[in-house]
């Protein structure tokens, strides 16, 4: 009859560990450089990798037979914060196809299995792509087709009108790419040096 007590204690420990981890991840997310910064994706990928592990652990905890509203609340919070960072990363220059497809399918309210089946991809490929794997040329073409069919990557609508897909950037547009080289942790180097002198 005293059985629920240790189970409640286990859930409380899981939630406390999750809260502590999310406190660190939130601080890391807040400290990320601007999306145009060359360091952005490297740092964001580290945070996303850790959050995937936390999400998996909470998903397993929520799947057990012991009821715990606190665990599902913690899982919901992690998923929402993870999706928000993925959306930010997918809209940033240099985002991966895995990030773009993840955000597109979540926005379209589709599961990974549904998208993989509809696009003719391996069922487990989407999980691999989300974790940073690079697709082969054939799969990449299917992924791009699926993203386009679902309306494109959310948050990048303004970019779709600037340049057609698969078109090389024009030679008279180098100034559009160079500013990324001048950003220092989210600050424009010219502004920093100008005010420092």
Let me know whether 82 and 115 are in one domain: no
CA atoms within 13 A on the CB side of 143: 24
Note whether 22 and 49 are same-domain residues: yes
Model confidence at 178: pLDDT above 80? no
pLDDT for position 6: 56
Least-confidence region, from 14-23, 30-39, 59-68, 173-182: 173-182
Residue 100 lies in a domain: yes
User: Is 45 inside any structural domain?
Assistant: yes
pLDDT (0 to 100) of residue 51: 97
Residue 39 tokens read as 């360091």
Radius of gyration of the chain (CA): 20
166 torsion bin: left (phi>0), alpha (psi -120 to 50), beta (else): left
The total domain count for the chain is 2
- What integer is the mean pLDDT of 150-174? 59
Chain segment 86-108, per-residue pLDDT in tens: 999 999 999 999 999 999 999 99
Query: What's the pTM?
Result: 0.74
pLDDT for the residue 180:
43
Residue 93 makes CB contacts below 8 A (sequence gap 6+) with: 35, 36, 180
For residues 70 and 116, membership in a common domain is answered with no
Give the model's pLDDT for residue 11. Answer: 81
Q: Would you say residue 56 lies in a domain? A: yes
Both 83 and 139 in one domain: the answer is no
In this prediction, residue 68 carries a pLDDT of 83
Same domain, 87 and 114: no
E strands in the chain: 183-184, 187-188
Judge whether 163 lies within some domain.
no
Question: What rounded mean pLDDT belongs to the chain?
Answer: 82
- Same domain as 106, residue 83: no
Residue 145, in any domain of the structure? yes
Domain hosting 106: range is 96-154
122 vs 67 pLDDT, higher one: 122
Q: Which among 154, 174, 192 is the end of a domain?
A: 154
Instruction: Indicate if 146 and 91 belong to the same structural domain.
Output: no
Asked if residue 100 and residue 88 are part of one domain, the reply reads: no
């Amino acid at each position: 009859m005293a059985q629920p007590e240790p189970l409640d204690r286990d859930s409380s420990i899981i939630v406390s560990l999750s809260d502590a981890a999310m406190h660190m991840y939130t601080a890391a997310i807040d400290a990320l450089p601007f999306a145009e910064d060359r360091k952005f994706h490297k740092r964001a990928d580290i945070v996303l990798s850790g959050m995937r592990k936390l999400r998996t652990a909470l998903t397993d905890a929520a799947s057990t037979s012991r009821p715990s509203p606190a665990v599902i609340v913690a899982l919901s919070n992690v998923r929402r914060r993870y999706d928000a960072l993925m959306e930010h990363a997918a809209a940033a220059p240099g985002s991966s196809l895995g990030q773009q497809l993840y955000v597109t399918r979540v926005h379209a309210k589709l599961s990974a299995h549904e998208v993989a089946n509809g696009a003719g991809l391996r069922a487990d490929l989407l999980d691999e792509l989300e974790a940073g794997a690079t697709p082969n040329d054939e799969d990449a073409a299917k992924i791009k087709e699926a993203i386009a069919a679902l309306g494109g990557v959310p948050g990048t609508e303004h970019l779709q009108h600037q340049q057609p897909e698969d078109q090389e950037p024009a030679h008279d547009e180098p100034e559009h790419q160079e500013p990324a080289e001048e950003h220092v942790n989210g600050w424009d180097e010219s502004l920093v040096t100008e005010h420092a002198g």
